[in-house]
Structure 1
Amino acid sequence: MTMHQSAGVSVDAMIEDLRKLVEVESPSRDVDALAASARAVAALVESRLGGRAVLVDSEAGPHVHWSGGGEPQVLVLGHHDTVFPLGTLARRPFTVEDGHATGPGVFDMLGGLVQAVHGLASLDDRSGVEILVTADEEVGSGSSRALIEERALACGAVLVFEGAADGGGLKTGRKGCGTFRVSVTGRASHAGLEPAAGVNALIEASHQVLRIAELGRPDIGTTVTPTVAAAGTLDNVVPAEATVVVDVRVESTAERERVESAFAALAPHLDGAEISVEGAVGRPPMPVEASAELFALAQRLLPGIEGSSVGGGSDGNFTAALGVPTLDGLGAVGGGAHADHEYLVIGAMAERANLVAGLVCAIRNAQEDERRSANGAP
């Protein structure tokens, strides 16, 4: 069976669709804003691909799910929430200038969504394709993970439209990542009259920070980085409470288990202090083996494209951990994710849209060949 792809995508149309999405601000955890954003994403999908895009309600906001019909074969995965608060658009409106599009979320990852939809629209046959656009990727995917995993297993291949790696490369591996919160409880006392009567939570937290920092193994890709700390109430009170937030990135399941066990084993240094730990490496590592098959297809479609492993996580971590072939970084070429200088390279939009169309065709053809072979067909 041969899948047909019609030629050409319109960059002007992609830019206009990108403008529509960017101008509906979609900060994570703002359910009302995300509801409006989900409606805009659904309208875009329906207008370009036909059919019906279903809004899947969740406590984090609506996810958007669309199916081209037929047996599921490939999942196009993205998210419509962004890290930018309401009002960012007024300060940094959508702008096209000097070959770049700028505005909140253009690179992470609204540009990737637009390119994916237009790439699929260039296909004569969209059967077997599903699109899932979630509302909570930037805050851990707590409400969407089960749905992501369900659809990934049903489809058997996942294309993730997060922004490209530096230089436009694909993301063939990702570190597992998580956040830990270490809470210290001491005992307050007057810092001048009887400091020894207290248990200084700040001093205890300082000991814990040094201990935690030693858990890092950068030589094998494990970083353990204390990022936020708070302690104390007044300058003449021995602090009774302190907290430390820690960012963790790992490349292997073994390191994930080691670090999680080490946090669980943290013990107080000072008599009378108490410690509690919350958190985990919530996104498992995405090993390069998970992307090898799909990356090879991409290299045949776009010779010279490179792949790299990166430190950030995505929903592709979840699908790869299930053993489902997953290729990431297929979205916008650009940079400045989560920053005011975020941008998308307009000149790369058509090539990336055509790449998704080619990958979908290649994946479906490969799956059809496997079925024919399994059935004994020549």
Structure 2
Amino acid sequence: MSERVFVTGVGMIPFMTPSKTEPYDVMGSQATQVALKDAGLDYHLIEQAYVGYVYGDSTSGQAALYRVGQSGIPIINVNNNCSTGSTALYLARQAIASGAADCVLALGFEQMQRGALRAIWEDRPAVLGTFLDKAARVQGPSEAPMAAQLFGGAGAQYLQKYDASPEVLARIAVKSRSHAANNPYSVFREPLTVEEVMASPQIFGPLTRLMCCPPTCGGAAAILCSEDFARKHGLDTSVAIAAQAMTTDYSSTFDGEDLMSLVGYQMSKTAAEQVCGQSGVGPEDIPVVELHDCFTSNELLSYEALGLTPEGTAEKFVLNGDNTYGGQVVVNPSGGLMSKGHPLGATGLAQCTELVWQLRGSAGARQVEGARHALQHNIGLGGAAVVTLYQKVA
């Protein structure tokens, strides 16, 4: 793959709670139109589209994009759990890098229901059955929401292994809300205190309610293009994808009693190492990161999986303020999933949008000054991890 890939347009709509949202097709079309306007491009110049969503009927991507235009292009629907949006981005980048297309849309949206994530189809094997079986074997059965069992168990193991305080998980939630205060696209912008987070209802293990991201609805999109296409149409080439990797689980994920690998630690670590190897850019060169903080426990684990801090030092990393403005790296300047919410299909492309804004220097009060590289991390249980490195082009 030799074609350089540029992110020439991005867009998202403000995320909403399920009671206030527009239908999925409206959200998808709105996000697409915002990205097209940002790129200064007509929809009929898009050659392919990869559309991600988790909870929806087949060809929902067509239903959303037909509201924008009916141009006969291939529209491929993508479902990869919480990493769905980044998987659509991954496929769009591959299409351009391989020379199969010159201008591709990656779109993600989700119209979610209230409450914790759950299986929809109960007349067939559960896709997370193997994961939940291991969790039950290690920590006993529970009636708690399935994702909380997994990420709560992983968080508990980390805290015990490194003798860390549960308050570190609360501090991450407080940090996320402080960032979200400057993000008009975020659902939850009110400040929190450590005491409020710790006092909220317990969900599972060390996790309280305010350490868990809420279900929200939304849409986000990115338009990728080749250098020749951008030059021909006078498009923005200030941000390129410098490297990208996608990984899935290893057999070791299901062996032993390690719950941290069960929620994607090894997938994330391997993908991050591949991205660093492809680009020659190390964690020390990255000033801004959007990572997958579906629970604050996963943000804690991801600091180490992505190489932002050595193994066993994440608590110190947080206590020193190295995860925010004035520290080593600004993690989730958008407020992350904890504050924006987590519309599964849209999340990865919302992360992409935030980081493109950061590298363009157009993130307003959230701006990380002087950023030339930005890292994106998006995981889905079941499983898939996508890590993407963006580069500001001089």
Under a length normalisation based on structure 2, what TM-score does the superposition of the two structures give? 0.31
Considering only CA atoms, is the larger Rg found in Structure 1 or Structure 2? 1
- Bigger strand fraction: 1
Where relative contact order (Cα < 8 A, 6+ residues apart) is larger, the structure is 2
Under a length normalisation based on structure 1, what TM-score does the superposition of the two structures give? 0.32
